[in-house]
Structures are given as structure tokens and as C-alpha cells.
Structure 1
Amino acid sequence: MTNRSPVSKTVIYVLLTLGAVMMAFPFFWMLSTSFKTVGGVSQLPPQLIPNPFKWENYVTVWEKVNFGRYTLNSTIIVVLDLAGTLLSCSMVAFGLAMFRFKLRKPIYIVMLATLMMPSQVTLIPSYFIWKTFGTLNTYYPLILPSFLGGAFGIFLIHQFMKSLPGELYEAAVIDGYNPLQILIKIYIPLCKPALAALSVFTFMGSWNNTLGPLIYLQDKSLYTLPLGLLYLRSNTDANTALLMAGAVIITTPVVIVYLIAQKQFVQGIAFTGLKG
């Protein structure tokens, strides 16, 4: 690779810095607005730094609008979704990658084909299935599907397992390990980057899921954070500052999780061949 000149490096850094500022500014504006008063939101010229700071916006959202309860509900769903997704996808991916059985390839191809099917196609049939089982207005429709495996998660882990040396499985069998022991003691520790990437995708999808809870939940005490934000928006007493405070509460965990798992996330994407 040829060495770039100082001028070209400077231009690249300036462009990257401008791009980073443009990406970060909406988040900064959301955070700034969440501390403003009602008059400060509509003030011209706009205030970048609120004056005065209204910390009570977060207290109002957390206590009076019941965002504390919504946060607990979302946390319960996300934790169970993560557990179900990682468990089911790891087991299915391990079986497809390591075992040779009849119809293995057709099953894998059909599974991948489901990735091209929009979720809206199965929305109505899924609703009537859960209605038949009497599970509407519960968390079952939001949690149980994760324990049945997902095509994207299976593909992600399957690709990573296929990149590992095949001799690992053979050596473990010779040492007397059964398939479950091989999965738990050997392959899962080696698949940490792929599992971390899947965890981030699952967390973001479950934490930000709006359509599922909107369809299946009617009781306000069962609302998740996205539904809580919708409810806050429909409340005539809510102002823009309160909406931004709620948005900050929803966004902050996603940013924290991504920053913590960033290294493993990038490794998992690179090793599974999903990078562009």
C-alpha cells in the first residue's frame, strides 16, 4: 500500500471528522432538548446549551409517565430474548455445521430463503395463532419465537463454526465428548465474537421493537419503552422536551451495549463474511 501524503491524510481526517459530527449532532440535539423548558424548545435562535437546565423532565417521564415500569418490562423481554436466541441458534447452527444427515442442505436453503420474506407477510397468521392459544396481552408472542431459532442468527453462527478447523470436532469425539459437551465446552467459547455480534443485533431488535408489542399488548402496565414513548406522544400534556427525555432513556442502553461489545461485534461480522 502506498503511503499517503500529509495533505491527503489531512483531507481524509477532516472529512471523517465532519461525517462524525453530522452523525452525532442529532443525538446531541436530542439530549440538549431533553433538558429544555417548554419555552426553550421553541426559542429562536435555538439554544445548543439549555439555559436553564430542567432536570425535572426526566423525573416526570420516569415517575409520572411510568417509564420505570416500561424499562423493567423491556429488560425482561430483552433478557429472555437474548437467552432464547443464543441457545436455539447455537444448537441449530452446530447441528447444521457438524452433522451430516439427509436433507441437510435443502433444510439450510429453505431456512435462508425465509430471510427474504418480509415480516409483514406472517404478521396476520402469527396474530391468529397466538390468539388461538389465548396468549394475547401477554409476553409469550414476544419471547417464545426466540427459543425456536432465527434464520439470521443460525446463519451467523453457522458461518463462524464452518470457519473453525474440522479436526476440533473429531478430536473431541476421540476424547469421549458427546455432541452437547462439544458444543458447550469447545464451540461456544470459540464462537464468542459471533455470539457477541448476534447479541447486539438481538438486543437492538428486541429493545426497539415497536410493532410486536403494539399488536399483542393492550394492558398499559405491560407496555415496553417504545410503546411508552408512543403513549407519551399521544398525551396532550406532553411537550417536545418530555418526548426527547423519553427518547434519551430508550437510546442510552443501545449506545452503551454497542460500545461495550464493539470489538467482539466487529470481529464476529468480519469472520462470518457479512462485511461489505
Structure 2
Amino acid sequence: MAKLHTDASPSLTRSVLSHLGLGLAGLLFLLPFLWLVLTSLKTTDDIFVYPVVWWPSSLQWSNYWEALQAIPFIRYTLNTLLLCVLAVIGQMISSPLVAYGLARLRFPGRNLIFFIMMGTMMLPYQVTMVPVYVLFNKLDMVDSYWPIILQNLFAIPFYVFLMRQFFMTIPHELTESAKIDGASEFRTYWRVILPLALPAFYSVALFAFLNEWKDFIGPLIYLNDPSRWTLSIGLRSFIGENQVDWGLLMAAATMFTVPIVVLYFFVQKRFIQGISMTGMK
């Protein structure tokens, strides 16, 4: 019993230290968000006082109401949600299909196509931004949502990579059994592969939603009409030529950030499972 207690003690110590370290790291990553929330409740004097004051002298809840009134916040939110939902739908249709072809179908040049696709991830967005804008401008689609929607109908390499790596972990015996039973390739993909890949599916959906929610450059260059703006552009309205209303900006930024935090708490189990299982053989 003494030996068992001695063996268990170092393990318990390591567990406590690891959890303590993870807790401190979590608090460290939480500090910027905490600073954002507290700043949104400060007066201008409290924001710029030195030395820095973490807790405001008086809570300015009115900053949130004034931020909602300063810009059409609800309209911008609905515009952003519309683009996010369409982006998720587009990526959920295109990315798994491409990933399935690269992971499960055997054809000459499959790996070469995959490596070329992954190589495009090294191209910065600014390289393709101008030619793509010129293309949509010639199609007379600028100042509409179509450029943003259509781009999300094409698979994004990073999402394809995640789905492909997950598909490769699924035993080939399952698809072979489905084909012996007479299932077509698409039916095998839809009824056998996708249900088993739901963790990776949810991870890609979350990535697509987050990417569209925080996108600033896309709506900035394609949307000229303020009624079509998204929240990311709307936040820019708080920055004037001569001054910045930091209290209202921080309140609007908090309202912009909170939905993402809440969404992550609801899907974190599926998200972590999808990421941790990606690439396992």
C-alpha cells in the first residue's frame, strides 16, 4: 500500500501542476477579452487615466445603448448573419465533396492535385484580391453580396485538408461493403462517409462561420451601400477623422465578440473532437 501511495503521489502532483498551468494560461488568454469588456463600461477619463485602472469608477452601461443607436447595429448583424449562414452552406457543400474525391477516389495525379491545392494556401489574399475584384466588376456584381457568396461556393484548401485527413481515417472496408450492396459513389459518400465525419464537419462549419463573421476586407471592397454593410465595417464607423469614441467602440466590439464566444461554448466538444481526430491513422 505504501508503494502504491508513493507511485500515485508523483502522478497526482503532475496532474495538479498541469491543470494549474492550463488554468493560468487560460486566464492569460482571457485578459484581452476582460479588458475589452471593462473598457466598454468606462468613461473616457477612466480609459485614459494613468496609472491604468482596471475596474471603472462608475459602470457606464449607457455605452451599449448609445452604441446600438450610433449605427444600425441590428441591420448590420442581420447582414452578417446572412453571409455567415450562406458561407457555411457553401463550404459544407463544396469542401467535403472535394475532400472525398482526394481521400477516397483513386485516380492518376490525385496527390499532385492535393499538393498544388495546399500550395495555394501560401498565397496571401492580397495577391488574388485585385484580379478577383476586376472579374466581379466586369460581371457587374460589385456593391452586392454575390461576390462574397460565390467565393464561398468554392472549396477552401484549409477546409478540404481537414476533411480529407478525417476521411482517410475511415476504413475502406465500409465503402467497399456499401458498393457491394449496390450503392453509388455519391450514395456511399452521403450515407456512409458523412455521418461518420460529423466532428470534422462541425469543425469546418465553425471555421467557415468565424471566418465570415470577422471578415473585413471582403465586405469593404465589394459593398459600397451602407445598408449592406456588415458588423466588421460598422465598427469602423466609430473611428472618426479627428477622434475615436473608445467607450462606444469597445461596447460595440464586445457585442460583436460575445456571440462568437457563446457559439464556441455550445460546439466546443464537437470542435475539439474534430480537430483532435484530424490526421489520425
**What is the CA distance between 1:91 and its match in structure 2?**
1.2
Unaligned runs of 5+ in 1: none
Contact 2:166–2:278 (CA under 8 A) maintained in structure 1: yes
Taking only the aligned residue pairs, the percentage that are identical comes to: 35
**What is the CA distance between 1:180 and its match in structure 2?**
2.2
Q: After the TM superposition, which residues 42-57 of structure 1 pair with which residues of structure 2 at under 5 Å, given as runs?
A: 42-57=48-63
Find 1:201's aligned residue among 180, 187, 207: 207
CA distance in 2, matches of 1:3, 1:153: 43
CA distance in 2, matches of 1:45, 1:119: 40
Number of aligned residue pairs: 274
Residue equivalent to 2:248: 242
Task: Label 1:256 to 1:176 Cα distance change in 2 as closer, same or farther (>3 A).
Answer: same
Q: After the TM superposition, which residues 132-171 of structure 1 pair with which residues of structure 2 at under 5 Å, given as runs?
A: 132-171=138-177
Contact 2:169–2:279 (CA under 8 A) maintained in structure 1: no
Letter in 1 for 2:99: A
Letter in 2 for 1:159: Q
Taking only aligned residues, the RMSD between alpha carbons, in angstroms, comes to: 2.3
**What is the CA distance between 1:112 and its match in structure 2?**
1.6
Unaligned runs of 5+ in 2: 1-6
Find 1:260's aligned residue among 263, 266, 279: 266
1:121 equivalent in alignment to 2:127: yes
Letter in 1 for 2:73: F
Contact 2:42–2:60 (CA under 8 A) maintained in structure 1: yes
Residue equivalent to 1:28: 34
Letter in 2 for 1:272: T
1:223 equivalent in alignment to 2:253: no
CA distance in 2, matches of 1:191, 1:92: 14
Q: Name the SS of the counterpart of 1:148 in structure 2.
A: coil
Residue equivalent to 1:58: 64
Residues 42-69 of structure 1, C-alpha deviations (whole Å, 9 max, x = no match): 3455443334322221122223311111
With the length of structure 1 as denominator, give the TM-score of the two structures: 0.90
**What is the CA distance between 1:88 and its match in structure 2?**
0.4
With the length of structure 2 as denominator, give the TM-score of the two structures: 0.89
CA distance in 2, matches of 1:79, 1:235: 34
Residue equivalent to 1:190: 196
Find 2:89's aligned residue among 83, 88, 111: 83
Task: Label 1:189 to 1:13 Cα distance change in 2 as closer, same or farther (>3 A).
Answer: closer
Letter in 2 for 1:21: L
**What is the CA distance between 1:3 and its match in structure 2?**
6.0
**What is the CA distance between 1:262 and its match in structure 2?**
1.4
CA distance in 2, matches of 1:124, 1:229: 24
Letter in 2 for 1:118: P
Contact 2:90–2:153 (CA under 8 A) maintained in structure 1: yes
Task: Label 1:55 to 1:161 Cα distance change in 2 as closer, same or farther (>3 A).
Answer: same
